[in-house]
């Protein structure tokens, strides 16, 4: 039987939540919105299942193999996939070799891979390999790992990097299920954003299945000398040996987090929630790959004090993975909701006082970002226009922190009970579909605001720069106390270490970040002598203290060497960027470049791109294109 239009339509409806056709014969009216960052034309033909059969070659640092797709066509004679820096060897359509062409290369988007099909084609199979220019993959030498004995590989797909390791329709609007056979060296273990092994296999061959449809940016792979330890039946940790116990202790509240999240916004539908601790060069705090969050080891502080990151990635199991931003212009739909949800999970677990500290830090991050973006006010709108730009450039703190403030203000306006009921319904009705900003606004008006006759300046929040007047005011008694202690130190040179003994890292961060511009080197030295901040083992405190050391020209306790050590061992973009920005702001570019030349080879392409741009660095031999 041919694929009838109605089937095509229904699949589209499942994927994008469009309205039912009036009659069966009606021509498909397709509801994908314009996609600025993918060549795919899903209204003509789209993929809905991937079968990946690949091997991971550490010696040559390539992945090679076959990607086979189930496709759905709408009388189309071609299907277009995204491809960047891939070596495409051959393409088959339903078992027969078929023509394909790679179009002109765009620096950001890569190349369209156009494949000839017939309107009856059901499967296409692509034989390919990655190249040294891949941006998603980071190949790590043993010395770059925690155990320092075996190599490691991980992928980072968001925003548009999956196309650099798999030819794919790389748009958040296109969801697919997948299976994979992955061959790795037999002393290593492979894990994916899928059902995962709990132990190494004897031959290094691993089979994976992801039965829930996800967008391509959530397909993820990590390969290393890993083992697994369960925390509860549905939560656990993958890590290298030397990190295992530390990670297990740090993340032991994971089951409680999942339960708290479920009681807020409905069932956790992905069955398993595991975390893999990656080597320190991982460019993000965490990445919400479904079933298996990828996390930086820098959140392991020894006292669970930075685990709001895990709450954040867990929250993405609803906002982002279940209801996905339609395009990267709607990125706040993923991140604003997730920060809001993260705060609610943290409040449920550790109380309002703790959550308010996190919220106030988010508020200050927002102020900093507004200052950074003062010359480009359009970049402070929630709804972005990233056409022609790398979507990674839109991923500043506006989507996160202004998105959060918008939702918190809404919550305070309509009341928490009402807002929670609305969000629960929102996730339920739009599960496994995508959301544009406009569609959300319509849904909000119909289901919350108009229904309850509440007027709210939604348009101003979303489509205007800056922060509207009616913003929620966030306060924290704990931070007021910290402000008082800092003030006493600055004005009266009084400081009693005893008052800090129960401080959380959030209080430390608030204390350090708010040093006045007039802070002297002598005052920096006094604090460091009492508190030994230069040698803090908490990565968050290190970041803000090193930033202040640069701001205030402090060189005590060998802090310069510590900064260099930090930048050459950690690749988390937020940390690295914050410190390099401080070098730049304080006219210490020569020092910055000297360190960057050493640290750059340890960074993932995502961090490299940001810091190259920040420092105006041009490598002699272009590796990242």
Q: Encode 254-286: b = buried (16+ Cβ within 10 Å), e = exposed.
A: bbebbebbeebbbebebebbbbbbbbbbbbbbb
State yes or no: is 554 an active-site residue.
Answer: no
CB nearer to Zn ion: pick between 31 and 289: 289
Q: What string marks each residue from 442 to 471 as x (binds Zn ion by CB under 5 A) or -?
A: ------------------------------
Tokens of residue 47, six digits: 């993929």
Closer CB to Zn ion, residue 73 or residue 293?
A: 293
CB 334 → Zn ion: shortest distance, Å? Answer: 7
User: CA nearest 332: which of 436, 427, 408?
Assistant: 436
* Active-site entry in 69, 400, 426, 596: 400
d(CA 45, CA 120): 11
Q: Do 172 and 215 form a contact (C-beta atoms < 8 A)?
A: yes
DSSP 8-class letter at 21: P
Tell me, residue by residue from 384 to 423, as one string, x for binding to Zn ion by CB under 5 A and - for no binding.
Answer: ----------------------------------------
Is the CB of 62 or the CB of 306 nearer to Zn ion?
A: 306
b/e per residue 44-65 (b: at least 16 CB within 10 A): bbbbbbbbbebbbbbeebbbbb
Give the residue with the Cβ less far from Zn ion, 111 or 308. 308
CB count in 10 Å sphere of residue 423: 23
The pair of three-digit structure tokens given for residue 593, joined into one six-digit string = 């470049």
Distance of alpha carbon 132 from alpha carbon 109, whole angstroms: 17
Instruction: Kindly state the smallest distance separating residue 351's Cβ from Zn ion, in Å.
Output: 23
- Number of residues engaging Zn ion in binding (CB under 5 A): 2
CB of 403 to Zn ion, least distance (A): 10
Q: Give the range of 96-104, 336-344, 367-375, 490-498 binding Zn ion by CB under 5 A.
A: 336-344
Cβ atoms 448, 415 nearer than 8 A: no
> Which residues are CB-neighbours of 543 under 8 A, at least 6 positions away?
566, 574, 575, 578, 579
Specify whether 540 is catalytic: no
Stretch that binds Zn ion, among 61-69, 157-165, 328-336, 427-435 (CB under 5 A): 328-336
Supply the minimum distance, in Å, between the C-beta of residue 618 and Zn ion. 31
Tell me the pairing of strands 175-183 and 123-130.
unpaired
176-235 residues near Zn ion, rule: CB under 5 A: none
Stretch that binds Zn ion, among 335-343, 365-373, 490-498, 604-612 (CB under 5 A): 335-343
Closer to Zn ion at the Cβ: 358 or 512? 358
Q: Exactly one of 35, 135, 179, 313 is catalytic; which is it?
A: 313
Which of 106-114, 327-335, 517-525, 536-544 is the region at the interface with Zn ion (rule: CB under 5 A)? Answer: 327-335
For the bound state, the minimum distance from the C-beta of residue 171 to Zn ion, rounded and expressed in Å, comes to 19
Cβ-closest position to Zn ion: 338
Q: Report how far residue 180's alpha carbon sits from residue 176's, in angstroms, rounded to the nearest whole number.
A: 13
Choice between 460 and 577, CB closer to Zn ion: 577
Of 511, 544, 508, 506, nearest to 355 by C-alpha is 506
Smallest distance, Å, CB 474 to Zn ion? 20
Nearer to Zn ion, 125 or 335 (CB): 335
Q: What DSSP line would sit under 501-529, residue for residue?
A: TT--HHHHHHHHHT--TT--HHHHHHHHH
Give the shortest CB-212-to-Zn ion separation in angstroms.
19
Q: Write down how long the chain is.
A: 625
Which one of the spans 117-125, 251-259, 334-342, 431-439 is the region binding Zn ion (CB under 5 A)?
A: 334-342
Using DSSP's 3-state secondary structure scheme, residue 450 falls into: coil
Catalytic center residues:
313, 400
Applying CB under 5 A, the residues found at the interface with Zn ion are 335, 338
């Amino acid at each position: 039987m041919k694929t009838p239009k109605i089937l095509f339509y229904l699949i589209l409806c499942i994927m994008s939540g469009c309205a039912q056709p009036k009659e069966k014969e009606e021509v498909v009216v397709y509801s994908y919105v314009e996609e600025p960052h993918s060549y795919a034309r899903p209204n003509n033909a789209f993929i809905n299942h991937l079968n990946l059969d690949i091997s991971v070659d550490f010696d040559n640092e390539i992945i090679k193999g076959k990607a086979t797709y189930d496709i759905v066509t709408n009388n189309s004679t071609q299907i277009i996939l995204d491809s960047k820096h891939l070596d495409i060897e051959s393409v088959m359509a339903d078992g027969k070799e078929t023509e394909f062409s790679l179009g002109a290369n765009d620096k950001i988007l890569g190349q369209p891979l156009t494949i000839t099909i017939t309107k009856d084609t059901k499967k296409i199979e692509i034989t390919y390999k990655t190249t040294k220019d891949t941006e998603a993959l980071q190949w790590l030498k043993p010395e770059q790992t925690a155990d320092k004995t075996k190599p490691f590989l991980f992928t980072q797909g968001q925003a548009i990097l999956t196309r650099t390791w798999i030819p794919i329709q790389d748009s958040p609007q296109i969801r697919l299920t997948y299976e994979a056979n992955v061959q790795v060296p037999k002393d290593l273990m492979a894990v994916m954003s899928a059902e995962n092994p709990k132990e190494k296999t004897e031959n290094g061959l691993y089979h994976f299945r992801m039965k829930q449809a996800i967008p391509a940016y959530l397909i993820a792979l990590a390969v290393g000398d890993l083992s697994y330890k369960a925390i509860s039946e549905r939560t656990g940790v993958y890590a290298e040996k030397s990190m295992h116990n530390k990670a297990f202790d740090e993340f032991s509240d994971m089951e409680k987090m999942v339960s708290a999240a479920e009681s807020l916004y409905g069932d956790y539908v992905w069955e398993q929630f595991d975390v893999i601790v990656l080597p320190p060069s991982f460019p993000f705090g965490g990445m919400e790959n479904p079933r298996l969050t990828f996390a930086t080891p820098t959140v392991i502080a020894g006292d669970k004090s930075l685990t709001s990151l895990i709450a954040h990635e867990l929250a993405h199991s609803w906002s982002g993975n279940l209801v996905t931003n339609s395009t990267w212009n709607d990125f706040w739909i993923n991140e604003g909701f997730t920060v809001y949800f993260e705060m609610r999970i943290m409040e449920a677990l550790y109380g309002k006082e703790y959550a308010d500290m996190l919220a106030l830090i988010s508020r200050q991050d927002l102020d900093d970002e507004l200052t950074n973006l003062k010359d480009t006010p359009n970049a402070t709108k929630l709804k972005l226009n990233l056409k022609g730009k790398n979507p990674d450039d839109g991923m500043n703190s506006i989507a996160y922190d202004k998105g959060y403030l918008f939702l918190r203000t809404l919550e305070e306006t309509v009341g928490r009970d009402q807002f929670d009921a609305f969000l629960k319904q929102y996730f339920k009705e739009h599960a496994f579909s995508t959301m544009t900003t406009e569609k959300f606004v319509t849904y909000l008006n119909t289901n919350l605001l108009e229904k309850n006759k509440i007027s709210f300046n939604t348009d101003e929040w979303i489509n205007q720069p800056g922060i509207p007047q009616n913003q929620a005011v966030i306060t924290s008694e704990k931070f007021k106390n910290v402000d008082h202690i800092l003030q006493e130190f600055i004005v009266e040179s009084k400081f009693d270490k005893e008052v800090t003994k129960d401080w959380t890292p959030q209080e430390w961060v608030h204390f350090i970040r708010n040093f006045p511009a007039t802070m002297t080197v002598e005052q920096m030295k006094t604090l460091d002598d009492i508190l030994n901040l230069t040698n803090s083992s908490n990565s968050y405190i290190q970041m803000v203290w090193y930033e202040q050391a640069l701001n205030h020209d402090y060189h005590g306790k060998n802090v310069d060497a510590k900064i260099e050590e930090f930048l050459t061992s950690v690749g988390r973009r937020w940390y690295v960027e914050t410190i390099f920005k401080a070098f730049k702001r304080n006219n210490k570019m020569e020092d910055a470049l000297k360190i960057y030349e050493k640290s750059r080879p340890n960074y993932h392409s995502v961090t490299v791109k940001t810091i190259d741009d920040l420092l105006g660095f041009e490598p002699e031999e272009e590796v990242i294109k």
